[in-house]
Amino acid sequence: MYYALFKNVLFAPVVRWLFRTTIEGEENVPRTGGVILASNHLAAGDTFVLPAMLHRQLTFPAKAELFAGDRGVFSKMIAWFLRAVGQVPLDRSGGRVSLDGLGPVLQVLADGGMVGIYPEGTRSPDGRLYKGRTGVARLALAAGVPVVPVAMADTQKVKKFGIPWIWKPRIRIGKPLDFTAYAGLHDDRETLRWVTDEVMNGIMELSGQTYVEAYGTSLKIGSLSAAEAESRVLPRPGYGAQPPQLPSGGLS
């Protein structure tokens, strides 16, 4: 109930009519059943611009600690809001996302819901598309659901009459990617990387972004220099890699 209230009364009117957002390809989103929307991530605005323009409810996994509400009044408000609009916790306390940490997200998909994921794991530091983390592949293979690539554009804040604003953001949605042939291989590293790269390539083809074969966080924290990032530009994610062997060929 709260999701529809916040969306239809607050977010959708602002995003549609004041921001003048456009969307292309929403017909590619399955009308029913579990599905993952995998998007590039340019700015904080992505998180409310996309769901405001979709007819189906979109659930974004949020850091599990945000649901604790144990850091004062503001944190309690955040925790309440996340629960009220049906968002779910993602436990990354052990570092790499495991199936145990994905439990609440898998339940949303099992219940026929739609989940939004930013495979890069962080906002792009310079507008380019960076290497995807394999959580999206692990989730898709474990849940047996399609992945729909999404490209966001122009969601960064600009100054309009001296006020921070988002102006004419654009959303492009691609056709669903079906990886059910690899269902069950959610712990096979080769398969996870290949699936992730295919998802990232789908995003790249929609967005037109330059692809960098490095994690965006590496550039942000300084462990990767701008020159090193430039040297890792590739024509596409997974460039030169071959599809992994199908389970019917002996993998289990």
Identify whether 47 is part of a domain. yes
pLDDT tops 60 at residue 251: no
Identify whether 87 is part of a domain. yes
CA distance 20 to 158: 14
pLDDT tens digits for 174-210? 999 999 999 878 889 999 999 999 999 999 999 999 9
Total Cβ atoms within 10 A of residue 113: 19
pLDDT tops 80 at residue 63: no
CA distance 91 to 65: 8
pLDDT tops 60 at residue 90: yes
Q: Whole-model pTM?
A: 0.91
Identify whether 220 is part of a domain. no
Helix or strand holding residue 141 (H, E): helix 135-143
Domain containing 165 equals 2-208
Identify whether 179 is part of a domain. yes
CA distance 96 to 248: 28
Please state the domain count of the chain: 1
Identify whether 228 is part of a domain. no
Q: What proportion of the chain, given as a percentage, has pLDDT over 90? A: 73
pLDDT tops 70 at residue 92: no
CA distance 202 to 189: 20
Q: Which conformational region is residue 30 in: left (phi greater than 0), alpha (psi within -120 to 50 degrees), or beta?
A: beta
Q: How many residues does the chain have?
A: 252
- Least confident segment among 10-19, 88-97, 233-242: 88-97
Identify whether 218 is part of a domain. no
Identify whether 242 is part of a domain. no
Identify whether 36 is part of a domain. yes
Question: Looking at the DSSP assignment, which residues form a beta bridge with residue 90?
Answer: 63
